[in-house]
């Protein structure tokens, strides 16, 4: 008697399933062998001295994470390899650190060579001038705080990142408005409504994955300025770039930096200016044609005891030659159109009463960033003087 059709069908089905399972097992072994060979090949390439120079550590980390290859290195989301990262021990850790340093040097060699000749040698060094690699080290080991990430601060932050600053602290709590499009770097059709410093971090990490970026979601005020500078920023601040536009807040920040001996570069008002070639740099005490800075200067004298100048004699009130406060200031000699007095800060409005243009605000930011980079690269940090009556 012949077996029923259902039994014959089940036997064939079982046979086909067995064949299919065999194929799947063979495919699994093949994939596993390919992964093992890939891991071995990558290890050999990493250990090859001749190949190390052509590899990007961030690319290696990204490849290993995407392909589930264990290199013994923990890759963070930003693919940043800190110098003291746990788990970076042994030969592989040393190789990855060397590769990260090599990548950094390739990325910022132009900046290092630019400032090497005019830089001051490090203490204890017998060299007449530091090498370009030492300049890169100075920049990568520095910490720069940027206060205000608007029309000026956003451009300044990117310039600092592209110049090899290794640690950036971004302070702002403002979000991006559509009216920011004409002057702010981070303002695009897809970023409206998002926080400025969050968008800046995403952009800066793409520029330099090794840059350590700290975000402080807050506005600097007279009440919290010391808490932010001493506690939240820590005691490792190399220099501070002030891109705020509120007189009370700006005055408090300037006074705090002077009292804490933090080198600071401050920036005047860009609204109403159309000619970027009129931008100049001078000490805060010499600034002209800038109401924002004039009010800050007045407040520093009135509320914080800053001196007006040197007395020539007991009878003379003020000398013609004013004492400098050692606060480098970026401002424009262009006379803006007259407007009513507006003492409001940027976080109370999305746009001001006067027009602005990115080629002016960006120029302000670039000039300010250049001052910070020059001070750090050349080793000539300018600490503000504590001027009291």
The string of pLDDT tens digits covering residues 263-316 is: 999 999 999 999 999 999 999 999 999 999 999 999 999 999 998 765 555 555
Domain of residue 299, CATH code = 3.40.50.720
Mean pLDDT of 68-74: 51
Statement to judge: residues 15 and 84 lie in one domain: yes
Statement to judge: residues 246 and 309 lie in one domain: yes
Residue that wins the pLDDT comparison between 387 and 201: 201
Using a pLDDT cut of 70, give the percent of the chain over it.
Answer: 67
Residue that wins the pLDDT comparison between 166 and 68: 166
Statement to judge: residues 156 and 40 lie in one domain: no
CA dihedral 79, 81, 86, 87 (to 10 degrees): 80
Residue 228 binned pLDDT confidence (cut-offs 50, 70, 90): very high
> Do the Cβ atoms of 211 and 166 come closer than 8 Å?
yes
Whole-number Å distance between alpha carbons of 117 and 79:
33
Statement to judge: residues 164 and 81 lie in one domain: no
Whole-number Å distance between alpha carbons of 36 and 64:
12
Statement to judge: residues 348 and 253 lie in one domain: yes
Statement to judge: residues 86 and 160 lie in one domain: no
> Is pLDDT of 38 > 90?
no
Counting the structural domains of the chain, the total is 2
pLDDT value of residue 46: 56
Using a pLDDT cut of 90, give the percent of the chain over it.
Answer: 58
* 16-25, 194-203, 264-273, 278-287: range with lowest mean pLDDT: 16-25
Structural domain boundaries, residue 185: 142-378
Question: Is 4 a member of any domain?
Answer: no
Mean pLDDT of 179-199: 96
Mean pLDDT of 103-111: 94
Whole-number Å distance between alpha carbons of 66 and 363:
41
Whole-number Å distance between alpha carbons of 209 and 206:
6
Domain-terminating residue out of 99, 114, 130: 99
Mean pLDDT of 232-259: 96
Question: Is 58 a member of any domain?
Answer: yes
> Do the Cβ atoms of 290 and 171 come closer than 8 Å?
no
Average pLDDT, rounded, for the chain = 81
pLDDT value of residue 244: 97
Statement to judge: residues 202 and 342 lie in one domain: yes
Domain-terminating residue out of 38, 68, 99: 99
Whole-number Å distance between alpha carbons of 337 and 261:
36
pLDDT value of residue 52: 45
Statement to judge: residues 240 and 374 lie in one domain: yes
Statement to judge: residues 41 and 185 lie in one domain: no
> Is pLDDT of 373 > 70?
yes
Statement to judge: residues 90 and 185 lie in one domain: no
* 19-23, 162-166, 254-258: range with lowest mean pLDDT: 19-23
Question: Is 233 a member of any domain?
Answer: yes
Mean pLDDT of 250-264: 97
């Amino acid at each position: 008697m012949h077996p029923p059709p259902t039994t014959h069908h089940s036997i064939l089905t079982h046979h086909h399933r067995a064949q299919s399972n065999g194929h799947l097992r063979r495919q699994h072994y093949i994939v596993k062998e390919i992964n093992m060979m890939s891991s071995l090949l990558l290890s050999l390439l990493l250990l090859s001295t001749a190949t190390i120079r052509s590899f990007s550590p961030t690319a290696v980390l990204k490849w290993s994470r995407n392909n589930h290859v264990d290199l013994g290195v923990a890759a963070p989301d930003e693919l940043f390899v800190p110098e003291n990262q746990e788990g970076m021990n042994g030969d592989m850790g040393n190789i990855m650190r060397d590769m990260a340093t090599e990548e950094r040097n390739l990325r910022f060699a132009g900046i290092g060579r630019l400032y090497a000749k005019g830089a001051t040698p490090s203490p204890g060094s017998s060299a007449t001038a530091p090498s370009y690699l030492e300049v890169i080290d100075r920049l990568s080991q520095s910490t720069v705080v940027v206060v205000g990430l608007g029309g000026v601060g956003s451009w300044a932050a990117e310039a600092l990142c592209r110049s090899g600053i290794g640690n950036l602290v971004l302070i702002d709590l403002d979000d991006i408005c559509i009216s920011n499009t004409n002057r702010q770097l981070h303002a695009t059709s897809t970023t409206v409504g998002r926080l400025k410093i969050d968008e800046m971090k995403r952009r800066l990490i793409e520029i330099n994955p090794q840059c350590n970026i700290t975000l402080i979601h807050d506005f600097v005020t007279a009440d919290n300025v010391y808490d932010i500078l001493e506690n939240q920023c820590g005691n490792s601040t190399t220099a501070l770039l002030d891109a705020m536009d509120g007189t009370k807040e700006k005055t408090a920040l300037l006074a705090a930096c002077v009292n804490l001996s933090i080198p600071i570069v401050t920036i005047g008002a860009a609204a109403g200016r159309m000619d970027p070639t009129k931008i100049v740099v001078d000490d805060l005490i010499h600034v002209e044609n800038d109401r924002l800075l004039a009010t800050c200067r007045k407040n520093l004298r009135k509320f914080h005891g800053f001196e007006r100048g040197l007395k020539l004699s007991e009878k003379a009130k003020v000398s013609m030659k004013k004492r400098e406060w050692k606060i480098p200031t970026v401002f424009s000699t262009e006379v803006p159109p007259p407007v009513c007095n507006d003492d409001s800060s940027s976080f109370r409005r999305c746009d001001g009463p006067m027009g602005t243009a990115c080629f002016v605000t960006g120029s302000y930011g670039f000039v300010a960033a250049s001052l910070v980079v020059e001070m750090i690269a050349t080793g000539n940090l300018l600490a503000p003087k504590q001027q009291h009556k």
